[in-house]
């Protein structure tokens, strides 16, 4: 899976480079991560034994600014996956015109098997091992798979102890009590809504009364279902790892959320018809939002989808071989590097506030997020029309051009 993810990133880069008529030297530079740091993470477990985990931090490209990207803890993590995710962050930050480069990192471990104290020791030792390349002007981590604000607090504290000064700008997605922002957690969902609104407008479709199907009801899918419903859409089906529920007239999203809080899954919700999680692809709708795992839309699923528009809230939900099928069927796809970029944009805002030492008003954050998403969507849509390609290809062209312009402007040292 991870090798395939890295190959997919290179394929997108190669295609964009050809369309953008990218300089060959710049193209070769972007095909190779600038820095890959692999570290051993020895940790004393609660039973007194020592376990040695492996961790990575990758800087794909930092021409446009400090590295930016999450930290994940997962038992299947490897270097290729981290490289692919770091490259995606390079293009995502460029697409949103943020002054960041692309980075990613993590530890190969199963956090479910670790106590809270063990998890803290893993975080702190990993942070110490990669501390030479971290800092507010060098590399700013954020939460990712199996990490959260608490992990970011440990990371920030460890780095601050190492450097002997408090560094609130060294991480984003941290708790409010140490400089986090209220808008960070829901920003990915808000950005997806902004993209959906813009796409409906460009397609000449009305958002109000249209049907939405969500695959995933977690940290992104849950809030997004509420936002779509509040915007006037009928959320007719929702699935998660436990099952799925369908109601042609529209689900009561608040009631679904209460049910999930009690039971852990949408399965068994009384306000709709129980269906298999796989059958949501067959439901006729205007908007489909994959908001769970990557690689769920393969060629078979792409043939079954009955939506006019897909907004990718998850990272890499569409496999490369499935995109031509969606193109042939005239299904518009707002790709992940645009659709779910609200999260990294909110991270940029949090970092900027930490560097300034001054918090922004909530409405200022919300409006600036909306403007960034709108401007980025417009740039991608326009390029897609000009080149006669899909939005995924257009998004990579815009991003690659911006990174290439920065590389050209700075030149090659020495």
Positions marked active-site: 104
> CA nearest 19: which of 387, 406, 408, 321?
387
User: Strands across the sheet with 332-334, in order?
Assistant: 273-275, 243-246, 234-240, 211-215, 285-290, 307-311, 332-334
Give the CA distances from residue 261 to residues 81, 163, 266, 342, 387, in Å, rounded to whole numbers and listed in that order: 32, 41, 9, 25, 46
Backbone phi, then psi, for 210, in 5-degree steps?
A: -75, 160
301 vs 296: CA distance, rounded Å: 8
Q: How many angstroms separate the first and last alpha carbons of the chain?
A: 37
Q: Are 339 and 195 in contact (CB under 8 A)?
A: yes
Token readout for 280 is 């949501």
Name residues whose C-beta falls within 8 Å of residue 359's C-beta, 6 or more positions apart in sequence: 181, 353
Give 57's DSSP letter. E
Q: Are 87 and 102 in contact (CB under 8 A)?
A: yes
Residue identified by tokens 């969507």 is: 377
Cα four-point dihedral sign 166, 171, 177, 182: positive
CA atoms within 13 A on the CB side of 212: 33
> CA nearest 90: which of 229, 209, 82?
82
Enumerate the β-bridge partners of residue 234.
211
Token readout for 110 is 């199963």
Token readout for 238 is 């929702």
Backbone phi, then psi, for 313, in 5-degree steps?
A: -80, -30
CA atoms within 13 A on the CB side of 146: 21
- Within 96-186, where are the H helices? 116-130, 149-163
221 vs 215: CA distance, rounded Å: 8
Backbone phi, then psi, for 286, in 5-degree steps?
A: -90, -35
């Amino acid at each position: 899976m991870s090798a395939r993810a890295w190959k997919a990133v290179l394929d997108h880069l190669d295609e964009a480079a050809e369309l953008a008529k990218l300089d060959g030297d710049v193209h070769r530079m972007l095909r190779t991560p600038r820095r890959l740091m692999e570290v051993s993470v020895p940790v004393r477990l609660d039973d007194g034994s020592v376990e040695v985990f492996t961790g990575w931090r990758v800087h794909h490209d930092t021409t446009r600014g400090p590295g930016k990207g999450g930290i994940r803890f997962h038992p299947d993590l490897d270097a290729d996956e981290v490289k692919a995710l770091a490259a995606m962050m390079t293009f995502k930050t460029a697409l949103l015109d943020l002054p960041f480069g692309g980075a990613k990192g993590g530890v190969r471990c199963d956090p479910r098997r670790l106590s809270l104290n063990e998890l803290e020791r893993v975080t702190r030792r990993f942070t110490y091992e990669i501390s030479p390349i971290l800092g507010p002007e060098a590399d700013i981590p954020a939460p990712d798979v199996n990490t959260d604000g608490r992990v970011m607090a440990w990371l920030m504290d460890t780095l601050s102890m190492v450097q002997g000064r408090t560094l609130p700008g060294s991480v984003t997605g941290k708790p409010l009590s140490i400089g986090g922002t209220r808008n960070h957690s829901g920003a990915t969902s808000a950005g997806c809504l902004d993209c959906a609104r813009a796409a409906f407008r460009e397609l000449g479709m009305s958002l109000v009364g249209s049907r939405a199907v969500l695959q995933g009801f977690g940290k992104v899918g849950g809030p997004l279902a509420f936002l779509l419903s509040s915007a006037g859409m009928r959320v007719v089906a929702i699935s998660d790892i436990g099952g799925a529920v369908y109601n042609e007239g529209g689900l009561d999203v608040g009631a679904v959320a209460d049910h999930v809080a009690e039971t852990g899954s949408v399965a068994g919700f009384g306000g709709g018809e129980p269906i298999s999680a796989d059958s949501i692809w067959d439901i006729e709708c205007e908007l489909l939002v994959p908001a769970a795992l990557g690689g769920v839309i393969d060629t078979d699923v792409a043939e079954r989808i009955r939506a006019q528009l897909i907004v990718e809230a998850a990272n890499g939900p569409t496999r490369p071989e499935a995109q031509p099928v969606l193109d042939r069927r005239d299904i518009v796809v707002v790709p992940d590097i645009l659709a779910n970029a609200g999260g990294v944009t909110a991270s940029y805002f949090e970092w900027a506030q930490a560097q300034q030492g001054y918090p922004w008003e909530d409405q200022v954050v919300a409006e600036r997020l909306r403007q960034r998403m709108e401007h980025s969507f417009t740039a991608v849509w326009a390029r897609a029309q000009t080149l006669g390609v899909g939005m995924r290809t257009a998004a990579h062209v815009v991003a690659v051009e911006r990174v290439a312009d920065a590389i050209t402007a700075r030149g090659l040292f020495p």
